Amino acid sequence: MTAAKTATADPDLPLRYPFPPGELGTPPPVLAWARKYRPVCPVRLPSGTQVWMVTRKTDIAQVLTDARFSRNLVYEGAPRFVGEDFTSMAGGIFNLDPPDHTRVRRVISHFYTRAGAESYRPMVRRHAARLLDAMAEGPNPADLVPAYTAPLPLAVSSEILRVPVEQRDAYHSYFRTQTNLAVSAGEIAAATRAVIEFTGEVIEAKRREDRGGNDRGPIEALIRARAAGEISESELQGTVAYLFVTGSEPLVSPLGTGVVTLLVHPRQLRACINDPALWPRAVEEVLRYHHNGVLGLPRVATEDVRLHGVTIAKGDGVCTPMLGATWDPAHYPNPAKFNIHRRTDGTATFGAGPHFCLGAALARMFLTTAYEALFTRFPGLLLAVSEYDIPWELDLFFTKPATLPVAWA
């Protein structure tokens, strides 16, 4: 192997994904190893496909902004985690490259600007209060996952997309399967078909109901853009499916993981409770410290690219774990230290370039509101088990506690 080999600690290559997790929802330690010794590191996905993993912040920014790396994985034989998941759906903005991506994204981007996100804050507060009221009436200690961290993002996302939460709940298992690493390729493909079917039903129902009113959400905007000929039918269907897949589950992860991290840093948590102006700082640090996914879905090289002496060949998949960027010690001193008073922020967790996370402002507003509501209502919230007994979901793209037992005075 290379001269950088460090005797006993080096893992075998290619690395196998999923990686052994870090403690308490922190990044898998192998990311730090790869950043140091194999900045362009081969990784084998559960599907058997081998991809390259880039872990340094500057390299990640380069891949995300370089047009030679495409998000278009809508073709047979494209690198997949397990099977034909939502990266295989034609037309979704997740899978489009500019200029198509720019054209479709423009239709809904105003819902997700800072001002757009801010307009949803009272609604998030209302759902948070409702769930916390119910929690206060129930058993104590309680599992915060079914009480708060799972239903709040779903309720908020359903209201933003103006789809009844019950309708969406019926399809919940398919959305979950989309992001599961431990199921078969066949199950993934079946779940993708179910998501497409659900998406079609939602769009048809909205087309029937549309009376031209003013209270419209992102799905209605896409339907109108379709009617106006600005986007294609597959762009409509694919982007609505994308909004469902990404609108809720990716928020469950930082909400739960962040609560654990705050509870195991009681001094910083207390500072936020005493001075609510600090909540946005806490959210920035949670966003830096955690990412909802570990490896990140692949891009594909459209021509040969050399990086750190490695040739990434045309057609190769490249993954850019955002935790590689946000834990890069060259940019974040002592990255393993959770410190809400850092001068840096969590922006790198949302990526870079044209696919910079559409929901970044929404995620920030949501988490700030959700943490503040929880800890204002239960300022004495405590873990009901040792933090090391909290079970973590290991089979999903997303890092999150499976159960989060808490108690309050």
Partner 1 sequence: MTSRFLVRHCSPESAILVERAESVVLGLSPWNGYYRPRAIEALIDWACSVFRRVDVFVPGYEAAHTLTAAGFTAPEAVHRTRRALSQLRTPARRALERAGVDGPDRHLHTWTQLAGRPQYAASRARAEHAYRTDPAVRRVCRATARAAVRHAAGTEPSEAQIDRAVSYTIAELPLVVDGPAVFGTTTSLFVYHRPMDLLEPLITGEARGLRPAPGQGYAVVTPAGTDQEGFPHDRRQDRDR
Q: Which residue ranges make up the site for partner 1 (CB under 8 A)? A: 139-141, 143, 380, 382, 384-386, 389-395, 402-403, 405, 407-409
What residues contact residue 391 under an 8 Å CB cut-off, 6+ apart? 401, 402, 403
Q: Which is nearer to partner 1, 22 or 91 (CB)?
A: 22
Is 123 or 385 the residue whose CB approaches partner 1 more closely?
385
Rg (CA), the chain: 21
Tell the smallest beta-carbon distance from residue 396 to partner 1 (Å).
11
The residue to which tokens 């654990």 are assigned: 260
Question: Closest distance between partner 1 and the C-beta of residue 221, in Å?
Answer: 38
Closest separation between CB of residue 179 and partner 1, Å? 14
d(CA 89, CA 54): 25
Nearer to partner 1, 353 or 405 (CB): 405
Q: How many CA atoms lie within 13 A of 203 on its CB side?
A: 24
The residues, any chain, with a CB within 8 Å of residue 61's CB and separated by 6 or more, are 325, 352, 353
CB 39 within 8 A of CB 56: yes
Nearest CA to 374 out of 112, 151, 204 is that of: 151
Distance in angstroms (rounded) separating the CA atoms of residues 381 and 357: 31
**For partner 1, which is the closer residue by CB, 174 or 279?**
174
Nearest CB to partner 1, comparing residues 170 and 394? 394
Residue 143: which residues within 8 A CB-CB, separation 6 or more?
Answer: 403, 404, 405, 406
Residue 40, token pair as written in the block: 């362009």
**Comparison of 230 and 395: residue with beta carbon closer to partner 1:** 395
Alpha helices (H) along 38-120: 57-65, 100-108, 114-119
Which of 117, 144 has the CB closer to partner 1? 144
In Å, how far from its chain's centre is CA 302?
Answer: 25
**Residues ≥6 apart with Cβ < 8 Å to 384:** 141, 405, 406, 407
Question: Of 26 and 320, which has the nearer Cβ to partner 1?
Answer: 26
Backbone dihedral region of 5: left (phi > 0), alpha (psi from -120 to 50 degrees) or beta? beta
Q: How far is the CB of 142 from partner 1 (least distance, A)?
A: 9
Instruction: State the Cα angle at 301 between 287 and 19, rounded to 5°.
Output: 45
| Closer to partner 1 by Cβ: residue 3 or 409 | 409
In the chain, the largest separation of any two C-alpha atoms, in whole Å, equals: 69
For the bound state, the minimum distance from the C-beta of residue 390 to partner 1, rounded and expressed in Å, comes to: 7
User: Could you tell me the smallest distance in angstroms from the CB atom of residue 399 to partner 1?
Assistant: 12
Residues 6+ apart with CB under 8 A from 229: none
Report the amino acid identity of residue 234: S
3-state SS class at 406: strand
Toward partner 1, which CB reaches closer, 304 or 389?
Answer: 389
By beta-carbon proximity to partner 1, the closer residue of 188 and 352 is 188
Q: In 10 A of CB 292, how many CB atoms?
A: 24
Residue pair 167/219 in contact by the 8 Å Cβ criterion: no
Q: Least distance to partner 1 from the beta carbon of 401, Å?
A: 8
Please, what is the minimum distance in Å from the beta carbon of residue 406 to partner 1? 9
Minimum CB distance to partner 1, residue 400 (Å)? 10
